[in-house]
Amino acid sequence: MTSFDTITPLLEKQAIELPSWAFGNSGTRFKVFTTPGTPRTPEEKIADAAKVHEFTALAPKVALHIPWDLVDDFSALRTYAEDHGVALGTINSNTFQDEDYKFGSLTHSNPVIRQKAIDHHFACIDVMHATGSQDLKIWLADGSNYPGQQDIRGRQDRLADSLQQIYARLGEEQRLVLEYKFFEPAFYHTDVPDWGTSYAQVAQLGDQALVCLDTGHHAPGTNIEFIVAQLLRLGKLGSFDFNSRFYADDDLIVGAADPFQLFRILYEVVRGGGLDDDSPVAFMLDQCHNVEDKIPGQIRSVLNVQEMTARALLVDRDALTTAQEAGDVLGANGILMDAFYTDVRGPLAAWRESRGLPADPFGAYLASGYQQQIAEERVGGTQASWGA
């Protein structure tokens, strides 16, 4: 098996973008729960995200959601983030909470509504210019609930046209990443339900258009690591949204439901060059903390990704290739399982200390008093929540 010391240079470069909305209040379809110390402004979200990076050195960027994170001066917000030791990352559009989008946004049959959705993405690109962001991420709730309700093919044509207009507005260093989700909120058909549809749409746009893979957006039993391998092979994997699911899009802490799946995904990332210096793949969390504290939840999440990345890097790929080519079924499986079962927590703790970080970032945060501080200081105002 590969030794731990040989993988630390790759681990040191690992970066996982945090979503601003993970620090706001969240909940189920039935209730959004409040918590003491929840941010009330985009600045307070960024300050909380910066704490995750301070204790882990894993989260140097914060993704924004428009209009949830609208401010009067995005250049000033960029400076605020940099002053807190982080940068602003992916800009996420929102075409699923406006009354006009009841029957679609970029796919809508009404050209006025469709143009409104396109113009929203133009505004997001303006935000990218001000924040220095590279990626515009698009997730669509567009779809239908009943057979015959919508013209499925016509909607694909309109989506292609809308995306082409948005793509044409990108700067030279900017990218469009198209996310997919197999259902919800549309139940009969979804306009971008799978990686194939997302790939088909971005492939005709150009090199600056890629696919975003959310680990919670697949049907039960889906072999996600196969999708990772295929998109890496095609050069079209632009980003990850890491989270866990048990039933639907649960948005739980990544690795909570199936750590072995996370390991398998990250092995294919390693195998496909997704950690290389020139890799186009961006790593991000997309989670909502409904009942657990938000900052500790994000710390736990990035540490889970780091731990499974370390295990994936420990796979003896030469020995695995030899076993695979020899048809040694159990031997090949055993090589993979040996790496998965390796307890890397001790070596990771020692390595963190050698870099001036706490051996236990989760415990160090809890002992820092920051949680109590924000609970006492953030009194009054309106807490950020899902939809705001």
Return phi, psi of residue 135, to 5°: -115, 140
The string of pLDDT tens digits covering residues 313-348 is: 999 999 999 999 999 999 999 999 999 999 999 999
231 confidence band (pLDDT: 50, 70, 90): very high
Give the angle 365-373-63 at the CA atoms, nearest 5°: 65
What tokens appear for 60 in the block?
A: 């140097």
Residue 370 is predicted with a pLDDT of: 98
Average pLDDT over residues 38-61: 98
Chain-wide mean pLDDT for the chain?
96
Q: Which of 233, 237, 171, 168 is nearest to 205 (CA)?
A: 168
Terminal C-alpha separation, the chain: 48
- Percent of the chain exceeding pLDDT 70 equals 99
C-alpha of 344 from chain center: 24
The string of pLDDT tens digits covering residues 359-385 is: 999 999 999 999 999 999 999 999 998
Report the CATH number that the domain containing residue 40 is assigned in CATH.
Answer: 3.20.20.150
Average pLDDT over residues 208-224: 97
Instruction: Give the integer Cα–Cα distance in Å for 37 and 159.
Output: 40
Distances from the Cα of 182 to the Cα of 215, 223, 254, 346, angstroms: 11, 14, 19, 39
Would you say residue 388 has pLDDT above 80? no
Residue 112 lies in a domain: yes
Give the residue numbers spanning the domain of 121: 14-304
Residue 204 lies in a domain: yes
Distances from the Cα of 116 to the Cα of 94, 110, 123, 345, 386, angstroms: 12, 10, 11, 49, 22
Would you say residue 300 has pLDDT above 60? yes
Residue 291 lies in a domain: yes
User: How many other CB atoms are found less than 10 A from the CB of residue 384?
Assistant: 22
Residue 387 is predicted with a pLDDT of: 63
Residue 232 lies in a domain: yes
Residue 117 lies in a domain: yes
Average pLDDT over residues 126-153: 98
Residue 112 is predicted with a pLDDT of: 98
Please give the model's pTM, rounded to 2 decimal places.
Answer: 0.96
1 confidence band (pLDDT: 50, 70, 90): confident
Residue 163 is predicted with a pLDDT of: 98
Residue 100 is predicted with a pLDDT of: 98
The total number of structural domains that make up the chain: 1
What tokens appear for 370 in the block?
A: 């920051």
Residue 311 lies in a domain: no
Residue 150 is predicted with a pLDDT of: 97
The string of pLDDT tens digits covering residues 280-291 is: 999 999 998 989
Average pLDDT over residues 128-157: 98
In sequence order, what are the beta bridge partners of 80?
none
Would you say residue 79 has pLDDT above 80? yes
Q: Are 388 and 382 in contact (CB under 8 A)?
A: yes
The string of pLDDT tens digits covering residues 157-214 is: 999 999 999 999 999 999 999 999 999 999 999 999 999 999 999 999 999 999 999 9
Q: Which of 267, 261, 174, 273 is nearest to 215 (CA)?
A: 261
274 confidence band (pLDDT: 50, 70, 90): very high
Residue 320 lies in a domain: no
What tokens appear for 223 in the block?
A: 């072999």
Residue 5 lies in a domain: no
